[in-house]
């Protein structure tokens, strides 16, 4: 098949992926009863957020699956969706209103999920595997803003801990546990780690991240371990220099909303504890001056504010060498916005194409997107790899 033909198929699958990620997918949990979940296939571990549209405590689900040409699609359970998964004599299919779209294959489980740290902590609860060699560590599955009534309105980290914490043994991770787990994952080929968590006071956050960096370096033997530190905007901007000195290659300071009024309303704790919208922008720009072009990320939750505002933010950041990823807003269960509606799949697909165009025009590479992301599964990652013809489907088609 020609490269043009492969691109056409991939873009059709991309539209399906986008729609399924927005609308979720319906299924009867019993379809997985004979699936080797937790053995051959990777199970969900709620290290930070519940991304399914319904909670499923005590019922294990797969993490996600792949389209025929290799696009990763995250599993988001929603029995109201027009999309469904069915088990047809052991072969799983994705369907749209009952009609088969294509067969799917679930995510394979990484080997380090079988191991525990030296203190007996299951490594799968320390670092979630996010595809293509990325691991995502949520050092804490809770946010201190809850007790102050200042949670970001779209966030369900605290609700997720309340629902799944005891069942899945999700507790605060110490630097030693993280160092051991990263080393195990890296021995299997992982090559990027994203470190994030709920809000903690600035000084405590910095000291903890520096200890984690030291532990990762000690256990992996790597001074540059390709790590992203996800932090709040520090009041003292010079603190940002310490993260680079500690060995983090990239930094993320997530603004969440570009419009100032939306930011103040949706993220009240970020304002009261880290400063104004203007201070967040100043911190992000300062981080870029420290870490360099394409080495700082600031996420915007696409769908909460008007599209034009989000695109304005993406353009602003891109012009300053800052990568802004705009993943589709999911009205997560347990968040203050649960029950609200994210925009249509068409809205989000258009946003993804526009975002990718902004990033490509600014000269960012897929490698820079990869190094700054928690997982390279955003639609913009797919668009970059389709246009670069770097997905395995192109090599297989050529063969």
Residue (of 16, 7, 19, 12) closest to 385 by Cα position: 7
Domains of the chain: 27-108 (no CATH), 111-396 (3.20.20.70)
Three-state secondary structure call for residue 71? coil
Kindly report the average pLDDT of the chain as a whole number. 95
pLDDT recorded at residue 398: 55
Per-residue burial over 194-221, b = 16 or more CB atoms within 10 Å of its CB, e = otherwise? bbbbbbbebeebbebbbbbbebbbebbe
pLDDT tens-digit series, residues 339-368? 999 999 999 999 999 999 999 999 999 999
pLDDT tens-digit series, residues 80-98? 999 999 999 999 999 999 9
Measured over the CA atoms of residue 166, residue 256, residue 179 and residue 173, the dihedral's sign is negative
Q: Cβ of 396: how many Cβ atoms within 10 Å?
A: 12
pLDDT tens-digit series, residues 82-139? 999 999 999 999 999 999 999 999 999 999 999 999 999 999 999 999 999 999 999 8
At residue 230, φ and ψ (nearest 5 deg) are -100, 115
CA distance 26 to 384: 29
In terms of C-beta density within 10 A (0-12 exposed, 13-18 middle, 19 or more buried), how is residue 14 classed? Answer: buried
Helix (H) or strand (E) holding 158: helix 157-168
The tokens of 156 are what? 């369900």
CB of 104 within 8 A of CB of 66? yes
């Amino acid at each position: 098949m020609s490269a043009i033909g492969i691109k056409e198929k991939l873009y059709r699958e991309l539209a399906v992926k986008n729609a399924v990620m927005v609308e979720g997918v319906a299924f009867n949990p019993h379809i997985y009863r004979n699936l080797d979940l937790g053995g051959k296939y990777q199970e969900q571990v709620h290290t930070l957020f519940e991304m399914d549209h319904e909670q499923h405590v005590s019922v294990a689900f797969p993490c996600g699956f792949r389209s025929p040409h290799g696009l990763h699609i995250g599993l988001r359970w929603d029995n109201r969706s027009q999309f469904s998964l069915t088990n047809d004599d052991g072969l799983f299919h994705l369907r749209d209103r009952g009609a088969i779209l294509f067969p799917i294959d679930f995510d394979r489980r990484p080997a380090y999920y079988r191991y525990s740290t030296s203190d007996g902590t299951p490594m799968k609860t320390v670092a979630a595997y996010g595809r293509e060699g990325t691991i995502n560590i949520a050092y804490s599955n809770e946010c201190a803003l809850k007790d102050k009534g200042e949670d970001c309105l779209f966030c369900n980290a605290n609700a997720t801990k309340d629902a799944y914490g005891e069942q899945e043994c999700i507790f605060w991770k110490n630097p030693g546990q993280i160092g051991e787990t990263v080393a195990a994952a890296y021995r299997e080929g992982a090559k990027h780690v994203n470190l994030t968590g709920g809000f903690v006071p600035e000084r405590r956050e910095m000291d903890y991240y520096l200890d984690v960096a030291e532990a990762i370096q000690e256990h992996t033997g790597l001074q540059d371990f390709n790590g992203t530190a996800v932090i709040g905007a520090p009041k003292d901007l010079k603190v940002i220099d310490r993260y680079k000195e500690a060995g983090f290659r990239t930094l993320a300071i997530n603004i969440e909303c570009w419009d100032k009024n939306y930011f103040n309303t949706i993220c009240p704790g970020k304002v009261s504890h880290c400063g104004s919208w203007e201070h967040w922008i100043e911190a992000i720009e300062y981080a870029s001056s420290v870490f360099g072009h394409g080495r700082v990320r600031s996420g915007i939750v696409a769908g909460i504010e008007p599209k034009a505002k989000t695109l304005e933010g993406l353009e602003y950041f891109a012009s300053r060498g800052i990568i802004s990823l705009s993943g589709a807003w999911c009205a997560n269960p347990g968040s203050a916005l649960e029950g609200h509606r994210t925009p249509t799949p068409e809205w989000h697909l258009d946003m993804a194409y526009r975002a990718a165009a902004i990033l490509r025009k600014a000269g960012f590479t897929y490698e820079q997107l990869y190094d700054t992301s928690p997982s390279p599964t955003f639609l913009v990652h797919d668009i970059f790899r389709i246009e670069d013809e770097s997905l395995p489907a192109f090599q297989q088609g050529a063969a």
